[in-house]
């Protein structure tokens, strides 16, 4: 089974690949906190890698919902 600690970084990576603005916001967090942010609690990962960066890309609000589908969650 994969570790649930890999879930948030994987979602962040995929979103960063999808949209350059999101990728830049996530890169700033990783640069500030270092790559060790992937080894902290899931809440801290979410706040740092998803919640915070997504809230800084204000243009996303006008572009409709952002849907993330998580397949095989039972394998985490």
List pLDDT tens digits, range 2-41.
677 888 999 999 999 999 999 999 999 999 988 788 778 8
How many folded domains does the chain comprise? 1
Rounded Cα–Cα distance for residues 33 and 26 (Å): 11
The residue range of the domain holding 44 is 4-69
| Residue 55 domain flag | yes
Rounded Cα–Cα distance for residues 11 and 8 (Å): 5
Rounded Cα–Cα distance for residues 68 and 71 (Å): 10
CB 47 within 8 A of CB 11: no
| Residue 50 domain flag | yes
CB 76 within 8 A of CB 9: no
| Residue 74 domain flag | no
| Residue 13 domain flag | yes
Burial level of 7, CB count in 10 A (0-12/13-18/19+)?
middle
Stated pTM of the model: 0.82
Residue 21 has what pLDDT?
95
């Amino acid at each position: 089974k994969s570790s649930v600690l890999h879930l948030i970084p994987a979602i962040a990576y995929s979103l960063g690949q999808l949209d350059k603005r999101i990728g830049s916001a996530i890169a700033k967090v990783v640069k500030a906190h270092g790559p060790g942010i992937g080894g902290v609690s899931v809440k801290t990962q979410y706040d740092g890698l998803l919640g915070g960066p997504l809230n800084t890309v204000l243009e996303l609000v006008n572009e409709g919902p952002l849907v993330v589908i998580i397949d095989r969650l039972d394998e985490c």
